[in-house]
Every structure is written in structure tokens, then in C-alpha cells.
């Protein structure tokens, strides 16, 4: 990933925080038929040097064959993002030498995938993922709410994947390269557009 120093984010807490907040990662492999990418929801365990990603996908998904064969895969997690118009910049009124851009936060994680066929592992995976997403609901749904024969059939149609992260990179492009008056304009612009989260990130990260 292209990493200008002012956008680089190496803090593990920030990287892991984005993965947990935006867990739908783009799983990318390079197999005999070329590049393949699928959006897959991931769980992140804090073990290992950089963390361990866990997921499951349909057994019928041909990417499973690639995962069994490749030495490395890449998972891309996309966080908050938004268009930045030059009209928000104070510099536009001063000299006009401004162009549009895009602000975003992203984490890229690499590792060697391990395909898992174990039914107990898969049941834990789907139970953990379900509990994570359902836990805050007034009446959370649980895997055990479905009939056991149905759950067993669903598990048979899945494979698991575990990816110990061997390399991880974070990038928070949040107007850090702009002068303070321009950053203030971007913050105000995002707030006016209803993008309070992005405005807060620019305020937090947008320092020289």
C-alpha cells in the first residue's frame, strides 16, 4: 500500500479497532485462474504477533481451493471514507491551486491461510460471529434458535479459514497534508454533509 509518512498508522490498537468496527474484509487470493476477491465478515483474535483473522465461506466458493494452495493472502478492511471538495479549502479563495481528493481509513492484513473443515470449529465461528453482531439487539438471535438438523446442514456447506497475520498496515488519510485553515474547512464540510464521524477523524488525525 502506498504509504506517505503523514498518513501511516502503525498503532496496533487503531488497526485492530478498525477491523472490529468494519469487519467485512475483502479477501484477496492469487490462484491458478488469477486474482479472486470476495467480501467476507471476519473475527479478529488478539493472539499471535499481529492478531489472527477467522472467517467462514461457502464450500461451493472456488476461492476455497486457492486458500488451500496459496502461501499468502491479503484482506483489506475499509473504514470511514468520503469525498473532499476543493470548495471546502480556504486555499481555494487565496490561490486556487487545489484539487479534489478522498479521505479514508483502511487496514491491509497479510498472512498464510489455513482452511478448516472441523465442524466444532465452524460452529464456534458462526456462534461467535452471530453473538458479536446480535448482542446489542433487544431480542438477540442465536444459532441455537434454528433447528439442529438445519444448523448441521448449514455447517456442512461451509469451510473455515484462519489467517495468522504476518504483516499489517494501516493508513488514515485525513487531510494531514493540508494547512490548518484547509483542515478546518474539511471538518466543517463533513459536518454539514452529515458525516460527523469523518469530521471527528480529521480533527483527531489532521495534525501537521
145 belongs to a structural domain? yes
- Kindly give the pairing relationship between strand 158-173 and strand 52-58: antiparallel
191 belongs to a structural domain? no
The predicted pLDDT at position 94 comes to: 81
The predicted pLDDT at position 47 comes to: 84
Domain count of the fold of the chain: 1
Rounded Cα gap, residues 185 and 180, in angstroms: 9
201 belongs to a structural domain? no
The predicted pLDDT at position 205 comes to: 86
186 belongs to a structural domain? no
Alpha carbon distances (Å) from 179 to 13, 85, 158, 187 = 27, 15, 51, 13
93 belongs to a structural domain? no
CATH code: domain of residue 68? 2.30.110.10
199 belongs to a structural domain? no
The predicted pLDDT at position 83 comes to: 98
The predicted pLDDT at position 48 comes to: 83
The predicted pLDDT at position 9 comes to: 96
45 belongs to a structural domain? yes
For residue 73, what are the domain limits?
Answer: 5-81+102-177
The predicted pLDDT at position 206 comes to: 65
- Write out pLDDT tens, residues 14-56: 999 999 999 999 999 998 889 999 999 999 998 888 999 999 9
- Mean pLDDT for each consecutive 10-residue tract of the chain (208 residues)? 94 97 98 94 92 98 95 97 96 87 98 97 96 93 94 96 98 95 96 96 80
The predicted pLDDT at position 32 comes to: 87
132 belongs to a structural domain? yes
pTM of the model: 0.93
Amino acid at each position: 500500500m502506498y504509504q506517505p509518512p503523514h498518513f501511516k498508522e502503525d498503532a496496533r490498537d487503531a488497526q485492530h479497532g478498525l477491523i472490529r468496527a468494519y469487519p467485512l474484509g475483502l479477501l484477496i487470493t492469487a490462484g491458478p485462474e488469477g486474482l479472486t476477491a470476495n467480501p467476507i465478515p471476519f473475527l479478529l483474535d488478539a493472539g499471535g504477533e499481529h492478531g489472527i483473522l477467522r472467517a467462514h465461506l461457502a464450500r461451493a466458493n472456488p476461492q476455497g481451493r486457492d486458500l488451500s494452495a496459496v502461501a499468502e493472502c491479503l484482506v483489506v478492511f475499509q473504514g470511514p471514507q468520503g469525498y473532499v471538495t476543493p470548495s471546502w479549502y480556504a486555499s481555494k479563495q487565496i490561490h486556487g491551486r487545489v484539487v479534489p481528493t478522498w479521505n479514508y481509513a483502511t487496514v491491509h492484513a497479510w498472512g498464510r491461510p489455513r482452511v478448516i473443515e472441523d465442524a466444532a470449529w465452524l460452529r464456534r465461528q458462526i456462534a461467535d460471529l452471530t453473538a458479536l453482531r446480535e448482542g446489542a439487539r433487544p431480542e438477540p438471535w442465536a444459532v441455537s434458535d434454528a433447528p439442529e438438523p438445519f444448523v448441521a446442514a448449514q455447517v456442512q456447506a461451509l469451510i473455515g479459514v484462519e489467517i495468522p497475520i504476518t504483516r499489517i498496515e494501516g493508513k488514515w488519510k485525513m487531510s494531514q497534508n493540508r494547512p490548518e485553515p484547509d483542515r478546518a474547512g474539511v471538518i466543517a464540510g463533513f459536518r454539514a454533509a452529515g458525516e460527523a464521524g469523518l469530521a471527528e477523524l480529521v480533527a483527531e488525525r489532521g495534525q501537521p
